[in-house]
Chain A
Amino acid sequence: MSMFSLLGALEIGLIFSLVALGVLISFRLLRFPDLTVDGSFPLGGAVAATLISFGHDPFLATIAATGAGAVAGLLTGWLNVRLRIMDLLASILMMIALYSINLRIMGKPNVPLIMEPTVFSILQPAFLSDYVARPLMLLVVVIVAKLLLDWFLSTQTGLALRATGANPRMSRAQGVNTGRMILGGMALSNALVALAGALFAQTQGGADISMGIGTIVIGLAAVIVGESLLPSRRLFMMTLAVILGAIVYRFFIALALNSDFIGLQAQDLNLVTAVLVTLALVLPNVKRRIFKGRGR
């Protein structure tokens, strides 16, 4: 594998570690199986790319994209909490709705960003080439996001959010407005995912309507891989684990696609993802069965 594809994998891995942090909040902390991310990731890309192509400031465009993601998450939460639609179904409805909304925002299936300024092109120091500078800048973004999330989850509100997912009845008895926690948590989760989408569009030369396909599976894969690499219940380690998981997962994908002898091509990406996630889900069970067998 060349240095170039290695750095490319790191770059995408870092972007998807933001998705993984979002998925950690919804799936793991709130126990809310949220497929909205398949829509909020391209939503972030669509909002950012469209605003930038209209000549708006890339930073404002990125912030607007993040805000749009938060609104999408809020709506999914609202469908579930207020209208009492089952969590998974509520998120599927939102995902489907976002497909149309994203097309409306972009006005066409894709918005290229070739010559336009991006947050990366503006911040990039002259002495570094872009494929080195981008991963470095993304690393800073991811570390800041991780530390902010760690801090938030250790506050009273963050603790209430974690309790809401783990034991809603007990949380209510302790005075936690669980509905509000779900709304807030879903907004936060999808804001992170949309931020990832906005950054993805700015590193990959534009937004595309199909860029969101399988986002949830990649996010989950990162969470699962991370948890098996660094099994810990401590918050600091949990967030670190999913970031690591996202990067390691991207390296595996790059490795698989770059190994000519396997004969995989880029269009096999989703199949490879599905196989990897299946393995990650099944392996712990197999391991447990083997150990049980030995105990007897």
Chain B
Amino acid sequence: MLNAQDLHITFNAGTPIENRALQGMSLAIEEGQFVTVIGSNGAGKSTFLNAVSGDLPVDTGRIDIDGVDVTRQPVWTRAHQVARVFQDPMAGTCEDLTIEENMALAQARGTRRGLGRAVKAASREDFRARLATLGLGLENRLGDRIGLLSGGQRQAVSLLMAAIQPSRILLLDEHTAALDPRTADFVLKLTARIVAENRLTTMMVTHSMRQALDVGERTVMLHQGRVVLDVSGPERSAMDVPDLLQMFERVRGEKLSDDALLLG
């Protein structure tokens, strides 16, 4: 399904602040697989996600989706294959537009946008039904500006928007990191439900090792811009956070000093 081969991305190349974010990153994801991606700050998680979505051009390497080379395609061309939820709740929705306008925008993803009405009566009913599944009462607020919603509510709507049109892969970029623990839990459960219902191929970047093991069926750890650990199946089921830490230390041959990972 998704096949990324030997990706290299360097920021500020040739300057003192040169940052080699991806250094030979390769990852293949099968149809319907739910992969969680972990790694310390600067390991290249978000960079990799942005390369897959097309937000960042890769220096060298190749990205295939369904066997088609999309490496040079701009974001909007890939959008019919790649759905995305951002870390920042403000980034994934358009605060000046109403809830129904945001959803209409997502509904048109991957289709030709013409001069038809953006929000039709029929799609309004569809939006209402989808929003009702959230249990947040948003189905009665279709005409409200989305800027009036809380971060958690906006993130929930973002998830609905990501699933409103079929896509080949869903990218989740630490999409619960900016939320309080209870809301994060709600959004995570919602994620699991939407992914299962739509049988979406999913890649979720997370800061939390706990989350990485609890959700999905395969966990990949990045370090210095490449994959250093890739576990799935029974091996992963038997794993706990300390095991993961230990494996990481063994693979890297060094002590892990990042508190962010330990605290997750």
B93 — nearest CB in chain A belongs to which residue?
Answer: A170
Q: What string of 1s and 0s marks CB contacts (under 8 Å) between B117-135 and chain A?
A: 1110000000000000000
CB-contact partner of B113 in A152, A166, A173, A176, under 8 A: A176
Q: Are A156 and B55 in contact (CB under 8 A)?
A: no
Interface-side segment among A121-129, A157-165, A242-250, A277-285: A157-165
Interface of B is mostly: loop
Q: Are B79 and A166 in contact (CB under 8 A)?
A: no
Q: Are B75 and A172 in contact (CB under 8 A)?
A: yes
Q: Are B145 and A155 in contact (CB under 8 A)?
A: no
A233 at the interface (CB under 8 A from B): yes
B108 at the interface (CB under 8 A from A): yes
CB-contact partner of A167 in B94, B108, B113, B118, under 8 A: B94
A175 — nearest CB in chain B belongs to which residue?
Answer: B79
Residues 120-164 (chain A) with a chain B CB within 8 angstroms: 152, 154-160, 162-163
CB-contact partner of A162 in B76, B82, B96, under 8 A: B96
A178 at the interface (CB under 8 A from B): yes
Q: Are A166 and B118 in contact (CB under 8 A)?
A: no
CB-contact partner of B92 in A160, A170, A177, under 8 A: A170
Interface-side segment among B27-35, B59-67, B99-107, B250-258: B99-107
Interface residues on B, range: 35 or more
Knowing A166-B97, A173-B84 touch, does A155 contact B117 (C-beta < 8 A)?
A: yes
Q: Are B115 and A157 in contact (CB under 8 A)?
A: yes
B95 at the interface (CB under 8 A from A): yes
B57 at the interface (CB under 8 A from A): no
Knowing A167-B91, A170-B92, A173-B53 touch, does A155 contact B115 (C-beta < 8 A)?
A: yes
Given the complex of chains A and B, what is the CA–CA distance between A178 and B105 in angstroms? 13
A267 at the interface (CB under 8 A from B): no
B14 at the interface (CB under 8 A from A): no
Q: Are A173 and B145 in contact (CB under 8 A)?
A: no
Q: Are A154 and B76 in contact (CB under 8 A)?
A: no
A270 at the interface (CB under 8 A from B): no
B110 at the interface (CB under 8 A from A): yes
CB-contact partner of A175 in B104, B110, B117, under 8 A: B110
Knowing A159-B101, A163-B97, A166-B95 touch, does A172 contact B76 (C-beta < 8 A)?
A: yes
Given the complex of chains A and B, what is the CA–CA distance between A171 and B115 in angstroms? 17
B116 at the interface (CB under 8 A from A): yes
Q: Are A171 and B105 in contact (CB under 8 A)?
A: yes
B145 — nearest CB in chain A belongs to which residue?
Answer: A233
B256 shortest CB reach to chain A, Å: 32
Knowing A154-B118, A157-B113 touch, does A166 contact B94 (C-beta < 8 A)?
A: yes
Residues 51-84 (chain A) with a chain B CB within 8 angstroms: none
Residues of B within 8 A of A169 (CB): 55, 86, 91
Residues of A within 8 A of B113 (CB): 156-157, 159-160, 176
Residues of A within 8 A of B109 (CB): 174-175
Q: Are A178 and B76 in contact (CB under 8 A)?
A: yes
Residues 172-192 (chain A) with a chain B CB within 8 angstroms: 172-178
Q: Are B95 and A159 in contact (CB under 8 A)?
A: no
Residues of A within 8 A of B106 (CB): 174
A151 shortest CB reach to chain B, Å: 9
Given the complex of chains A and B, what is the CA–CA distance between A172 and B91 in angstroms? 12
Given the complex of chains A and B, what is the CA–CA distance between A176 and B106 in angstroms? 10
B116 — nearest CB in chain A belongs to which residue?
Answer: A156
Residues of A within 8 A of B20 (CB): none
Q: Are B96 and A175 in contact (CB under 8 A)?
A: no
Given the complex of chains A and B, what is the CA–CA distance between A154 and B97 in angstroms? 11
Q: Are B96 and A154 in contact (CB under 8 A)?
A: no
Q: Are B108 and A174 in contact (CB under 8 A)?
A: yes
A156 — nearest CB in chain B belongs to which residue?
Answer: B113
B114 at the interface (CB under 8 A from A): yes
B81 — nearest CB in chain A belongs to which residue?
Answer: A175
B80 at the interface (CB under 8 A from A): yes
Q: Which among B74, B80, B86, B105 has the highest number of chain A CB atoms within 10 Å?
A: B105
Q: Are B108 and A172 in contact (CB under 8 A)?
A: no
Instruction: Enumerate the 9 nearest inter-chain pairs by beta-carbon distance, A residue then B residue, closest first.
Output: A175-B79, A159-B118, A172-B75, A156-B113, A175-B109, A166-B96, A167-B94, A155-B115, A177-B76
A-B contact pairs, 10 of them (CB 8 A): A154-B117, A156-B113, A156-B117, A157-B114, A159-B113, A162-B97, A162-B101, A166-B94, A173-B75, A177-B74
What 9 new A-B contacts, CB under 8 Å, besides A155-B117, A156-B118, A167-B94?
A155-B118, A160-B113, A162-B96, A166-B94, A167-B93, A173-B82, A173-B86, A174-B79, A176-B105
